[in-house]
Amino acid sequence: MKLSESVLIQGLRSIVGEANVLLGEQISDDFLKERRGRFSSQTMGVVMPGTAEEVSALVRFCKQNSLPIVPQGGNTGVCGAAVSVEDSVIVNLARLNQIRKVDATGFTMEAEAGCILANLQAAAKESNLYLPLSLGAEGTCQIGGNLSTNAGGVNVLRYGNARDLVLGLEVVLPNGDIWNGLNALRKNNTGYDLKNLFVGAEGTLGIITSVVLKLFPLPVHRSTVLIAMESVENAVELFSRTRKETSDFASSFELMSRVCVESAFQNIPDCKDFFDQPYPWYVLMELGDSTRDGISQQLSESFLESAFEDGIVIDAVLATSEKQSQEMWRLREAIVEAQLYEGKSIKNDVSVPLDCIAEFVEQSISTLESLIPGIRPFAYGHIGDGNIHLNLSQPRDMDGDEFFGRWHEVTDIVHEITDGLNGSFSAEHGIGLLKLREMTRYKSSVELELMRSLKMALDPDNIMNPGKVLPGSSH
Ligand code: FAD
Ligand code: S2G
Ligand code: ZN
C-alpha cells in the first residue's frame, strides 16, 4: 500500500532530521537546475543525510515504499544524470564532507563522498602530495559524483581518469546494505573488482559514501606552454613527440581552436592573447616534476626547439611565472563560460584514436557547415586522450530554439563520424538521460544485456536513479 506523501516525508525526516529534508520553495536551483537546460527536475524533496548509516536507512525506507532515489553530488554533470525526472527523492551527499585521512607514506587519502574536489586537492597539497583529478567544475563537484561519472579532466594524460585514481569505496547498495570496500592496498586480488562496478555507474547501482584515492608526488616544478600551430595534424604530431621527448612528464595537452580563444577574449574580461597575431590552432601543454632542481622548464625548451626546427609549431610562449601559468589556464577554462555568450550550443564529448583526430575534426566541421551554414564550431579539449569537445554554437542569424531543436540531428552526424573512426560517443561526461539513444545505437545487445543483468542483480526494484544510463530503465 503506497503511503501518502506527507507520511513519506515524515518517514524521511525521522531518518535525517527535519532540517535535512528540503521541500518546495526550500529547494534551490543548485539541486534542480540542469546545466545545459535540456532537462528539468521535479522531485518530492531533497534529502541530505549526514552519515552512511543514515543513507542506508534512507535507502531501506525508499525501497520499502518503492520511492525512486536520485543520488546527487555537486549537480555539475552535463548529461542529466542527477536530475529527477519523476516523483523521486534527490539524495544529496553534501553533508558527508569529512576528509578522514591523508597517508603520506602510503600516498592515499580517505574521504567522504560529499567532499568538494577542490577541498580534497587542497588537503593533499597540505601534506605535500597531489590529487591530480582536475576539471573546470572542481570548486563545486563532489568526489562521489566524480567517481560516479568516472570524470576525466585535464590531467588524464599522465594520471588517468577517476577510475584510475580510486583504491576503495564504501557504497550503500539498493537493498540498504553498506558495502565497506575502503581498501587502501595497492595490491588486493580477492575476487571480483567490485569498486569498478560503481565507478561510472552514474548512481544506478548504489550510493558512494566514502572513497580511498591514490595520491602522487606534488609537482613542485611546472612548465606551462601555450603553443600556436597551423593545423590539428600538427597538434597530433606534436603530442606524439611529447610523450617520447618529455618521458611522460606532460600532464596536460589541451587543444583550442581560434574560434574558442577569440570568444574567450571577447566575452571573458580577464582573458588575454599571449601572441601579437591570431593563429588557427593552439595547444596548452603542461609538464610537472618533483625533482630537486626541476627539469620541466628545460624539457619544454628542448622539446619546443626541435618542434620549431621541424616546422610543427609556429609560435610559443613559455610561462615565466605562476601568474602567467594561471593566465594560460584561465584562457583554457574560459572557453566553457564564453560559449554561454554565443547563444545556443550543441555539445559533444567524443573520443577517437589519436591518429584519427584531424580527420574527425575536419570531416565533422565540413559536414556540419554544409548542413547548417553559419554554424560556429568550438573545437577544444583533451586531445592527449583523443577526447574532443566539438561544441557547435548557433549561427548568429538563426533562432536559438530552432537551432537547439536540431540537437539530435547535429550530434547524430558527429556520433556517426566518431563511430566510423572507432571512437566513443561519450569520452568522459557519461550517459545520464542525454545519450540513451546512442546507447541503443552503438552498444551491442550483449553489452546492454550484461549491463541490464548487473542492474537487475543489484537493484531488482529499480529504485536507484531509474531511467539513467540504460535505455528503457525508467521506474
Ligand atoms: P552530479 O552532477 O551531482 O551527479 C552526476 C552523476 O553522479 C549522477 O548520475 C548522480 O546520480 C551520480 N552521483 C553523484 N554523487 C553520487 C554518489 N555519492 N554516489 C553515487 N552516485 C552519485 N566532466 C569531465 O569528466 N571532465 C571535464 O573536464 C569536465 N569539465 C567540466 C567543466 C564545467 C564548467 C562543468 C560545469 C562540468 C564539467 N564536467 C566535466 C562535468 C561534471 O563536472 C562531472 O561529470 C562531475 O564528475 C560531476 O560531479 P558532481 O558531483 O557534480 O555530480
Ligand atoms: C571541458 C566541460 C563541459 C562542457 O571543458 O573539458 O568537459 O561544458 C568540458 O563541455
Ligand atoms: Zn572535458
**Whole-number Å distance between alpha carbons of 262 and 335:** 9
Going by the DSSP 8-state scheme, the letter that residue 383 receives in this structure is G
Residue 257: its pLDDT value, please? Answer: 98
Is the whole-model pTM more than 0.95? yes
Residue 3: its pLDDT value, please? Answer: 78
Q: For 99-217, CATH number? A: 3.30.465.10
Q: Do domains 221-340 and 343-437 have the same CATH topology?
A: yes
Angle between helices 357-371 and 232-245 (to 10 degrees): 160
Burial of 36 (0-12, 13-18, 19+ CB in 10 A): middle
CATH architecture of 5-93: 2-Layer Sandwich (3.30)
Q: Which of 473, 462, 391 is nearest to 436 (CA)?
A: 473
Ligand 1 binding pocket mutation candidate from 148, 171, 351, 387 (most atoms within 8 A of CB):
148
Question: Three-state SS for 47?
Answer: strand
Q: What angle do CA 75, 78, 83 make, to 5 degrees?
A: 50
Ligand 2 binding pocket mutation candidate from 76, 134, 135 (most atoms within 8 A of CB):
135
- Closest-approaching ligand to the CA atom of 264: 2
Strands 43-47 and 88-92, bridge-based pairing: parallel
Report the nearest atom of ligand 2 relative to the CA of 389.
Answer: 10
| Alpha carbon 314 to chain centroid, angstroms | 32
- Could you tell me which CATH class the domain 221-340 is placed in? alpha beta
Residue 1: its pLDDT value, please? Answer: 64
CB atoms within 10 A of CB 318: 17
Residue 85: its pLDDT value, please? Answer: 74
**Whole-number Å distance between alpha carbons of 335 and 83:** 25
pLDDT averaged per 10 residues, the chain (length 475): 85 98 95 92 95 98 96 98 89 98 98 98 98 98 98 97 98 98 96 98 98 97 97 96 90 98 96 96 97 94 95 97 96 97 98 98 98 98 97 97 97 98 98 98 98 98 97 86
Whose Cα sits closest to atom 2 in ligand 2?
336
H-run or E-run covering 11:
helix 5-16
Residue 88: its pLDDT value, please? Answer: 92
**Whole-number Å distance between alpha carbons of 138 and 117:** 5
User: What is the residue extent of each domain of the chain?
Assistant: 5-93, 99-217, 221-340, 343-437
User: How far, in Å, from the CA of 241 to the mean position of ligand 3?
Assistant: 23
User: How far, in Å, from the CA of 352 to the mean position of ligand 2?
Assistant: 17
Ligand 1 binding pocket mutation candidate from 135, 336, 455, 459 (most atoms within 8 A of CB):
135
**Whole-number Å distance between alpha carbons of 202 and 346:** 22
Q: Which CATH number fits domain 343-437: 3.30.70.2740, 3.40.50.300, 3.40.47.10, 3.40.720.10?
A: 3.30.70.2740
CA distances from 34 to 283, 404, 432, 445, 472 (A): 30, 15, 11, 30, 21
Task: Please check whether residue 88 is in contact with residue 66, taking contact to mean a CB–CB distance below 8 angstroms.
Answer: no
> Which residues sit with their C-beta closer than 6 Å to ligand 1?
35, 70-78, 81-82, 93, 113, 135-137, 141-142, 144-146, 148-149, 151-153, 202-203, 207-208, 336, 428-429, 465, 468
